[in-house]
A and B are shown apart, each in its own frame.
Chain A
Amino acid sequence: MIMPLLKGLGITLSHLFKKPVTLQYPDEMPEVAPRFRGLHALNISHDKAKCVACYLCPTVCPAKCIKVEAGEDENHNKYAAEYEIDMLRCIFCGYCVEACPVDAVRMTQTFELANYKRADFVFTKDRLLEKK
């Protein structure tokens, strides 16, 4: 009756000499996979956001959390005058990235999104452009 318990104790004891697996977050940061779907970022080309305001991403977004407003620049090109993602509604599915026909939006490895005010979760175009 006592033998199986001792055997179990042996197993736990053997773990005493193994390297601990616990990650000491936030002192140690986890290694995040390249494909990780974290905070969005808008891609830049020729010093401008690549987005052409085609409205595909707000259309496919299952959470309907992207707001795009099209504008016309001095060369009569369409661009996104406004681009906003509400991170409180976003479900991080990556459909916007999959749908973008000009590779203008990507998802980064940033996963620490906690904030103090609701308004801080609305990521405007400027905030999304900040990430290089």
Chain B
Amino acid sequence: MKRRKIVDWVFSGGAYCAVAVMVAFLVLVIGPVFVKGVGAYVFRGTVENRRMMLEQFGRGDSVAVLAEWAEVRRARQPVYDALRAFEREMDEMPSARRKELRAAFKEVKEGVAELLGPEPGTPLPALTRRIYGQTRWDRAKVKRAHILFEEQWDYSGGDGVRVLVPRAPMFEGTALALVFAVLEKDLEGLLRPRLRFYPQFLTDRSIDAHFFGGIGAEVAGTVYLALGAMLIAVPFGIVAAVYFQEYARGGPVLSFLRSCVNTLAGVPSVVFGLFGLAFFINTMHVSRGKSVLAGALTLALLVLPTVIRASEEAIAAVPRTYKEAALSLGAGQWRTILTVILPAALPGILTGIVISMGRAAGETAPIIFTAAVSVGPLVGLGDVLSHPTPALSWNLYNMCTEHEAADEIRHVQYGMALTLVMIVLALNLAAIFLRARVTRRLKG
């Protein structure tokens, strides 16, 4: 008796532990993604952000922004003046001293250009990202640190240790000392950070490889691909499930087909990607190159086993007595399936569909070769048959690994990750909600 109690206790304790570990894991994984991802939608934006928004998106109160811009320019003028004064000063220095300072000065000058943007009056750079200073306060502080400190590596202890050496002492007594002082004390005056809500991040086009703007094209691509995949997979999946459950009479053909479906479920997704390229694009020529259509077809193939299985389970769970009742009233097999079996199986089928949709939205490998491009405009609904599209999953990966300035757009990467997680989460919640609703309707 006592032993039973202990065993019970151990088992329920184990269950609680498992749940706790799972929750902790979720919090650990989703937590940072959430916190950092929110930074894409809500952040401290500088005057450069407001200026960029006005010029690139035509958003904001132009009079107010221009007035603010004029004030900020006045505040920045001493910095630019000091840079110029130091250049003249340098010309008069003894050459040894000049050599010593030149490299450091160059970095400071470039740093200021990155931080505040090009000096007004100088020709505009070609890249949009160079036209503006730092639009985000968090990035501005990082850039300031690059100006104020020189990064050095100390190898005296064996392993390299990063040390930050202040540059100000090197320039003490020169005109440049003022730049360091202003940046240290009055960066806010130069950039005017203000809290900014940017919900349009979800729908805006991106500018200059995601330096500015939002992820509208990626979101649209993901939605197209996921919906398209379901549009193709659901009819096939349900018909296949009906066949397996209601028509097939056992035998070798059925078990062969079943093992085909099961194998399909176990194939790594990258293989689907290659297959999609080889079959849909190179053999069937559904489009001249990558396209949303080819990607949706490939994803449909990927989720087909899930849809079939979920539908089969749902159909199998429909009480046989419903079927008997319908048949006894003179319904044919198809009528029975359409009017009684499928409606009763709907909750389970819906759940399978929505979960598959989440999967299709998140998959990366199948669309690399068939649908996804790293940079591209928002694809219109009329172009889905022939045009490739950016998509959250692929562009997230791409921007973390291939982007030339991956460090500078962490907020976009996390914003994309959060958006993708939220889309999948929303789909799963929708599944639960739909299921509850339909079940309630069936149960009365």
A and B held together in a complex: no
Interface positions of A (Cβ within 8 A of B): none
